[in-house]
Amino acid sequence: MHDGVSKSVAITVKVPARLHLGFLDLDGGLGRRFGGIGLAVSDLGTTLTIERAKFSNVSGPEADRVRHHLQKMERCLALHNGHNVRISQVVPAHAGLGSGTQLALAVAAGLRRLHNLPLDIEGDALRLGRGARSGVGIGLFSRGGLVVDGGRGHELKPAPIIAHLPLPRHWRVLVILDPQRQGMHGPEEGAAMAALPRMSDADAAHLCRLILMKALPALAEQDLVNFGDAIKELQLRLGDYFGPVQGGARFMSRDVAAVLAVLDAAGAFGIGQSSWGPTGFAFAPSPDEADRLALIARRHPNGRGLDIRVCEGLNCGAEIMAQVHASEVGQ
């Protein structure tokens, strides 16, 4: 005879990838620096499952990074039992898609839900060293859609989210990945930022105006022409600003740059590079138009070694789901 049933709970966290469309104020003369705009996209993201275990174990891609986050959160939350973490999906690291923030916040949120603790997304981001410049990834973890963060102030906390809008369901985003390249990260990224000249007040003011008075109203009215114009100009100006630390180019990948130029000529909107790249992006007004543009990109000589995807804007943040497994114990 069976004496009873043992129930185990597994928490699965799914986090969308994010595109970082650009910074707003790289001077910080008003007391806040950076500020940024970004959006969540479908078909690319991070998925991991966490459950209690006798000893902690991490398996799957990016296991070392996840193990580091797991150990730190176990200490912060005073959790003395072990945990088994299985990573089933990740976006490429250092590709401009926010993989580091996704992994960190997914571990923290999964642990908290597993132990019936309240979520603390902003606090855990700080504990795990995320959001030093951009609050976009943290905001998108909670909300999805498109967000604007108001820049880092003097206090040690993530930049506040000051705007949040959904993406129209019929718009599509072409995401162009270069598997052969990585964007700057770690000490190299810090050194590059330090080497850049001061951004003028006038340039920062113009970028902020582009977003507040053109991109966001256009998005609210589902006007892709003006939204795309604003994002394209933001990207051109930032590409010129960052060019000296990107080998004198606006884009980290020459192949991505070539494909984006072709897409621009073929009628795509709002072309640019996400964060340090090498991932590029472009917008299309409909699924059919996105498929047409994707075919052009894939047929281009420079597109043959790239991973070109048609994605939707994802208007929800991370999914945190619990599965209860029952097993009979005893005799």
Residue 134 has a pLDDT of: 86
Q: For residue 189, how many C-alpha atoms fall within 13 Å in the half-sphere facing its CB?
A: 14
Q: Residue 53's beta-bridge partner residues? A: 82
Strands 57-59 and 82-89: parallel
209-259 tens-digit pLDDT: 999 999 999 999 999 999 999 999 999 999 999 988 888 889 999 999 999
Count of Cβ atoms closer than 10 Å to residue 75 Cβ: 11
Q: Give the total residue count for the chain.
A: 331
The CATH code of the domain at 168-312 is 3.30.70.890
Which residue spans of the chain are classified as CATH 3.30.70.890? 168-312
Which residue spans of the chain are classified as CATH 3.30.230.10? 1-165+313-331
CA angle 31, 32, 35 (to 5 degrees): 160
6-15 tens-digit pLDDT: 568 999 999 9
Query: In the predicted model, what is the mean pLDDT of the chain?
Result: 92
Task: Say how far apart CA 247 and CA 261 lie, in whole Å.
Answer: 18
Domain range 1-165+313-331, CATH architecture: 2-Layer Sandwich (3.30)
Q: Are 294 and 17 in contact (CB under 8 A)?
A: no
Q: Are 11 and 29 in contact (CB under 8 A)?
A: no
Residue 194: phi, psi to the nearest 5? -70, -25
Spans of the chain, pLDDT less than 70: 1-7, 326-331
The residue with tokens 């990945």 is 177
